Amino acid sequence: MTAPVPSLAEASAGIAAGTLSPVALTEAALARIAALDPKLNAFITITADRARRAAALAEAEIKAGRRRGPLHGIPYALKDIYDVAGVRTTAHSKLLIDNVAREDAASTARLEAAGMVLLGKLSTHEFARGGPTDVLPFPNAKNPWNTAHFAGGSSSGSGVAVASGMVGLAMGSDTAGSIRLPATFCGVVGLKPTYGVISRRGIVPLSFTLDHAGPLTRSVEDCALAMQVLAGHDPGDPGSAREAVPDYSADLRKGVAGLTIGRARAYDSEAGVDAEVMAAVDAAAEQWRALGAKIVDVALPSKRRMDACIQTILIAEGFAIHGGWLRTRPKDYGRVTRERLMMGAFVTGGEYVQAQRLRRIITAEVDAVLAGCDAILCAGNPTAAPRVVDVDEGPFRKSHPITGPFNATGHPGLALPCGFGASGLPLGLQLIGRSYGEAMLLRIAQAYEQAVGWMARRPDLGG
């Protein structure tokens, strides 16, 4: 069994020092995938030949003194809703089984320009909407901590690939938590940036106004390195922000002394967060307090009200995208995907408009909370990863993700490991920041990560 691949920061330092070769790193990653993926199903498509060519080119460029940046020569992988020219984009669905992309997604192009090495395309829930037991053309990804438990969705393969040490960076998408939930359940870092910070051009859509693109990584520092490449305006995405791109690593080690973190405990209670997760998030708050931050209680808008807003928008926009296929090829969808998408046929124009009006009100209310603190702290999920057989796959869930409301408001959300439960499964928290405040979230998260060291713990997969 090969060892887990190093973090982005470790790999970057090794390549810069000449002690690590992009070719050797890529071969190690491919060997790790070959050893583990038959059990974990993280990948749909493995681009081994392409990866070897890219690694050889990167190695030659670096030896010639033409290193493009800190990520040059390091492998990555993409959720299979991101386009790569000449490679299939299936969205894990029979409907797109033969869909070969003509050009790179904007994010793909940025990672390729940085000299990264694509290993392949990763498992997802069908069209980022289905469930872990949908019968699909490819198997569903499995949680590396315990394969009987949920890996999170819909960027399931992305969370699994990073947690299992197959790759140091995997790209995901997040419409109601689909980066942060796999990060939470798999024990890695996942960032949903502010709406529009990373282009969505070339990514199969689920919701025009709720979709976000973002990275999953081993560490907070890795997330900062990835964001430096990924962020920036794209005129090809109508939702793309025109904000200047900061240096995401500049303040990473400034600590949290003098900062204020708002603990949204009532929000967690309303969301049904269990005692184990509540205790872990409270312990994280105390750790930040010990590091010099001020911890204050904050009151967010009612989760039930926020859920009504985001779910109305999500199901309406999802149906607008999929209505044609739902009418002509309904049986080609998995059951969970089909049922969830079809609900949008029953949303009226008036209901959609009212949901968008409520969205503006809720966003202003969250902005008001963030005016008094540097970040909001709450749980990443109410429980540790449930068993797959216990996942709610009903068309309209009995409870909606604790992450979802911040897709409606567009604020950045960072998922971070905060310990392990009695089952041995990871527990996670999320930090919510001011719009375009990703650098501050990373700074706060880095202080905690360095103090507790959860990043060092990996699932026991050998190697």
Catalytic residue numbers, as ranges = 79, 154, 178
With beta carbons less than 8 A apart as the criterion, state whether 36 and 69 touch. no
Q: How far is the C-alpha of 31 from the C-alpha of 52, rounded, in Å?
A: 12
Angle at the Cα of 257 (from 255 to 263), degrees rounded to 5?
95
Task: Find the helix or strand (DSSP H, E) in which 46 lies.
Answer: strand 43-46
Give Cα 279 distance to the centre of its chain. Answer: 24
Closest CA to 411 of 310, 278, 331, 322: 310
Give Cα 217 distance to the centre of its chain. Answer: 9
Q: How far is the C-alpha of 116 from the C-alpha of 108, rounded, in Å?
A: 10
Closest CA to 362 of 295, 412, 304, 401: 304
With beta carbons less than 8 A apart as the criterion, state whether 42 and 166 touch. yes
Q: Tell the residue number behind the tokens 């003194």, with chain if given.
A: 65
Give DSSP secondary structure letters for 256-269. Answer: -TT-EEEE-HHHHH
The neighbouring-strand residues paired with 212 are 174
Query: Which residues 6+ apart lie within 8 Å of 353 measured at CB?
Result: none
Give Cα 58 distance to the centre of its chain. Answer: 27
